[in-house]
Chains A and B, each alone.
Chain A
Amino acid sequence: MKKAFANAYIWILMLLLYAPILLILVFSFTEAKVLGSWTGFSANLYRNLLTGEAGEALNNAIYNTVLIALVAAAVSTILGTFAAIGIHNMRHGRVRQAITFTNNIPMINPDIITGISIFLLFVFLGIGRGLFCVICAHIAFCTPYVVLNVMPQLMKMNPNLYEAALDLGATPMQALRKVIIPELKSGMISGFILAITLSVDDFAVTLFTKGSGTVETLSTYIYADARKGGLTPELRPLFSIIFIVILVLLVFYNLKTAKQTGND
């Protein structure tokens, strides 16, 4: 009885959580103007996505989104891995505390604050907003997650591995390349995937750092469009594609981390 109740509760919540998303997914395959009136199956909304009047702007947005995500995720992964190794080897003291505390700030701060604060910095420095500013901001809020993913790998790594490599004749750089990086690889990949997800997904930070120029990403494009007319039909396939991409990345990430913890 209790079990049935618990199951029912979870399933209802789950349904509520996913119903809207499924709704959009379903109705992205019809040309109906409003949701609810199915006018027959059609992939036209998808077809028109890239070739329609908004095609060029959308192409541009996709290009920007991918570019920003790849650059930010790559830089974050390298930066965050080195940072994690550094923090792990630091003595427990004020410096270490300060770095780990600051590392948490971008994860706690609401996006709008992160966006505005970096925007203000660029205004103060007199540097124009745009692609560079967006990428810097994305690196700033992605790297903490990389550090967070790599840290546990370091914790469970045998502390003598690095020394064993040196002992066998590896220079510190060789030890890093041949022993440390392979050990941290799964954490780094998880961090990289998460960074891409966060970057593709971000909206508020990009909005404040992109400036008024032409640097639109998928999410700012959707925002601009939704502001004008709510959930317009052409947004439905776009929504569906982004949702599927992020879903795939997240499932991949979760499988990866589940496998890691399963190995322990």
Chain B
Amino acid sequence: MNNNDYIIQVEHVTKRFDGGKVVLNDVCLNIKRGEFVTLLGPSGCGKTTLLRIIAGFTKPTEGRILLSGKDISELPPYQRPVNTVFQRYALFPHLNVYDNVAFGLKLQKVSEAEIDTRVLTALRIVGMTEYEERNVNELSGGQQQRVAIARAIVNRPQVLLLDEPLSALDHKLRVDMQLELKQMHRDLGITFIFVTHDQEEALSMSDTIVVMNDSVVQQIGTPTDIYNEPANPFVADFIGESNILNGTMKRDYIVNFMDKDFQCVDKGFEADAPIDVVIRPEDVVLHKDPKDGQWTGRVTSCIFKGIHYEMLVQTPDGYEIQVQNYTAYPVDTEIGMSVAPENIHVMPCKSLFNTIEATVIDATHVFMLGASFETKLHSLPKGTHVKVAVDFDKVDMLDDPADGIAEGQIRNILYKGNHYFIDVKCSNGANIQADTNDVWEDWDMIGISIKPEDIRVIEG
């Protein structure tokens, strides 16, 4: 594809704040002219910072931003042909609706007559005609939102940036605005970059979704791609509901999970390669007669969700599976379940254990994760840099950070059917993963402890 088809190119952008906190880590992104692109991720993932870098409010620490192939990294915001719709609208309270919308045009010294036509056109597009003379403080949230959009599009930007513009609106209004924004995008023909943490919003509006987490782009794709073929368990968990389970790839087209073999459509893995299996709740087929299913279970809860029922089913060997169905099965019913091969999503698993950078302190201690850990006796000289392996289930997580050897904060939690898989960011910035049966919450501060015999020094 010719480079000029891209209107915005984000090249290896890293943003480090003054305190050393990394909010964007080597982000690359190409945005096609005329696309509706959504940056989607949980709060704190870096999506708003990326938008602010494109707008010019924040300078990247490393990397650059190209607009139509030209480097604009050093351009101040007022010289960039992009406009922003802010989360809290940021309408100028001392100006009325008309003057808010005309603000940019007046600065450009556009003639009075042209300002008038363009402002009225913009207000018509957002459905705010007759409101010109109104004080912006008298408008409702939805109306302010419309004025904010008119104020941005009246300048005919090449790219419109929208920073969670619908998050302050109530649900019904939000859905209406989604449709209208989509229509505006079609009519205006310009590129929209939309930031949100709401996956439904992203799925229903975008041409392309950029899923972000922990300062890194996780996956880029169309809404269907992202939903149907999530690149990793995080994306699977964040977009829609899903059952995520540990498994192994027996051979081509045969996958094993929940201690059973299943047909699947994936191939090309090494024999017995560890993988993650994702099954959407709506893809689990329920059978009244338990014998008809590939596996069985007992319903433990059943909630009506409006169109379908959402049920939790407990299998005899201790897995909890979330399923959706149009028919309700009362609690305690024994049912059978099955899943079609094409609905079993297999994704490679990076590893079965943590690999941690460490430095040898003495014959029985290494320094890692910002603390000194006791190990089995080894013969490596002091100061050697080594890699240390720790199995996920050998990492102990403690309530009180002071009780652990190292300290960390929980950044992500995945439920894997019969246990939780937890991402922990340690005080020195390193990540460690742990399997646990305990219930934790995001952002909990915890202590980390590992027994000496569970620390394997694997690389000298």
Contacts and interface: CB of A to CB of B under 8 A. Distances in A.
Interface of A: 91, 158, 160-161, 163-171, 174, 178-179, 182-183, 185
Given A91-B18, A158-B88, A163-B77, A168 B83 contact: yes
A120 to B, nearest CB: 40
Interface in B79-136: 79, 82-84, 86-94, 103-104, 107-108
A164 B92 contact: yes
A183 B95 CA distance: 10
B192 to A, nearest CB: 15
Contact of A167 (B78, B92, B108): B78
Nearest to B163: A160
Contacts of B18: 91
B55 interface: yes
Contacts, number: 65
A167 B77 contact: yes
Contacts of A166: 56-57, 76-78
Interface of B: 18, 55-57, 76-79, 82-84, 86-94, 103-104, 107-108, 151-152, 155
The DSSP consensus for interface residues of chain A is helix
Nearest to B19: A91
Nearest to A171: B78
A169 B92 contact: no
A91 B87 CA distance: 23
10 contacts: A163-B86, A164-B84, A166-B56, A167-B77, A168-B107, A168-B155, A171-B76, A183-B92, A183-B94, A185-B94
Contacts of B92: 161, 164-165, 179, 182-183
A75 B87 CA distance: 37
B107 A169 contact: yes
Nearest to A163: B57
- Name the residue among A168, A169, A178 with the largest chain B CB count within 10 angstroms: A168
Nearest to B79: A169
B107 A163 contact: no
Contacts of B93: 183
B416 to A, nearest CB: 41
Given A91-B18, A158-B88, A163-B77, A168 B94 contact: no
A177 to B, nearest CB: 11
A50 B74 CA distance: 65
A163 B108 contact: no
A169 B75 CA distance: 12
A147 to B, nearest CB: 22
A91 B83 CA distance: 27
A163 B78 contact: no
Nearest to B80: A167
Contacts of B87: 160
Given A163-B57, A164-B84, A170 B90 contact: no
Contacts of B57: 163, 166-167
Nearest to A164: B90
B90 A161 contact: yes
Nearest to B108: A169
Given A166-B57, A169-B155, A179-B92, A160 B103 contact: no
